Amino acid sequence: MTQHPAAQDHPWLVAGAGLGGLALMHAWSLHPELQSQPLTLVEQSLTLSEVGAGVQLGPNATRILRQWGLEPALRDLVCQPELIQARNAQGQVVGELPLAQAVEQRYGSPYWCVHRGDLHRVLLQAVQQSVQRGDAQALQLGSTVEAVKALPQSEGSGLQVGLRQQGRELEFVKAQALIAADGVWSAVRRSHWPHSVWKDSDQVAYRTLVPMDQVPPAWRAARVQLWMLPLMHVVAYPIQGGRSLNVVVLLEHQGQGVPMGWDERPQPQSVQHDFERALAQCPADLRELLACAPEWRVWPLVAAHPLQSPADMAQGAVALLGDAAHPMLPYMAQGAGMALEDAQVLVQLARAHARAGILKADTLFEHYAQARWARCARVQRKAMRNGHWFHASGVWAWARDLGLRSQAQRIMDVPWLYQGTGADVASG
């Protein structure tokens, strides 16, 4: 089908300047063969704040950040934990997985813990530099994507994307393509995939950052520490170059009444009471750590049915990327990793298409979705299974501990995930 000549002038839009959207912009800007196709990134927030807490980056994710040349900017901001240490409800260590040199040796790249705000800032600076250099990129803040539909046939192929600038009427702009990286509550996904099953999980995460000099000495080590209790677990690890300990408490059956958002106070009172009751069942030394929290923030966890096919990730000239495509429970610590991989794969495929002289959104997105959906679905499923084991009680908890005590490396390591990179998937 011939493309309407004017349609080629319309931009490719990227929705959402979170980790995935910025990663895509940065990776795209690294390759001269993609400069003929400009990307415009639109973000709903007027200012990009550094809200958030810790994210873990497995070697599959750090390998990509290294390839993008971001390691020097991140080096002083990340922490490289020596091991993951798993404890049961009695506080006994039941399994350990060495990280640090062991992961570097095994997978050729490190395991990092980082404040989301630090990683976000490094990606944003890289994108801003490329915009200043005059690369074919634009960043438009304070613009919310609300809808997407096909252009009328009389106007050729392409999309109309409904954008609302703050305080203005909805305005439809023409675009050749839309890559939606607008996060777990994606408006594009709701608009373009109205039947996708996607819901609050009845689970919530409470997070706090404790300055390291206020952390009890026993918990200051460079470790990812995990406590598994009935219907809840707790994770703690250092971030910000070791200056803070990130602590997250994840609870089941608490979703009701917790507002949507990343930076909410634990309200209403009932939510606060449930949280306090959950903390009371923790072993005494963990309670001592949790008591150091200066304040808590809460967010509801979103879960989707695992992706079923490539059509769940891309249709025509619209593609989903990161949490918009595959929201997952954080029990594999791969939300950021999968967004970075998506960006890497999309860019690698775009380069191959550009070199072959056929950079068309619908074909590119079809190949992208084919390369990504099964791997992302596998991570979504594994995250759900981990939740069952982390929150087990009774005989199931006993069986879990027995398994971990005898085969921790086999159970806790994830070679199929850590060995892969977005690039391998794209070329494989």
Ligand X SMILES: Cc1cc2nc3c(=O)[nH]c(=O)nc-3n(C[C@H](O)[C@H](O)[C@H](O)COP(=O)(O)OP(=O)(O)OC[C@H]3O[C@@H](n4cnc5c(N)ncnc54)[C@H](O)[C@@H]3O)c2cc1C
| Binding positions for ligand X, rule: CB under 6 A | 15-21, 42-45, 51-53, 55, 116, 144-145, 181-183, 187, 262, 322-324, 330, 335-336, 339
Please give the residue whose beta carbon sits closest to ligand X in the complex. Answer: 18
Q: CB of 340: closest distance to ligand X in angstroms?
A: 8
- Considering the complex, state which of residue 94 and residue 303 has its C-beta at the smaller distance from ligand X: 303
- Considering the complex, state which of residue 15 and residue 289 has its C-beta at the smaller distance from ligand X: 15
Q: CB of 241: closest distance to ligand X in angstroms?
A: 17
Q: CB of 244: closest distance to ligand X in angstroms?
A: 12
- Considering the complex, state which of residue 278 and residue 336 has its C-beta at the smaller distance from ligand X: 336
Q: CB of 332: closest distance to ligand X in angstroms?
A: 11
Name the maximum alpha-carbon separation found in the chain.
Answer: 70
- Considering the complex, state which of residue 302 and residue 408 has its C-beta at the smaller distance from ligand X: 302
Distances in whole angstroms, Cα of residue 167 to Cα of each of 44, 125, 140, 144, 399: 12, 28, 15, 11, 56
- Considering the complex, state which of residue 88 and residue 186 has its C-beta at the smaller distance from ligand X: 186
- Considering the complex, state which of residue 206 and residue 275 has its C-beta at the smaller distance from ligand X: 206
Q: CB of 166: closest distance to ligand X in angstroms?
A: 11
- Considering the complex, state which of residue 66 and residue 106 has its C-beta at the smaller distance from ligand X: 66
Q: CB of 148: closest distance to ligand X in angstroms?
A: 10
- Considering the complex, state which of residue 14 and residue 408 has its C-beta at the smaller distance from ligand X: 14
Q: CB of 196: closest distance to ligand X in angstroms?
A: 15
Q: CB of 335: closest distance to ligand X in angstroms?
A: 3
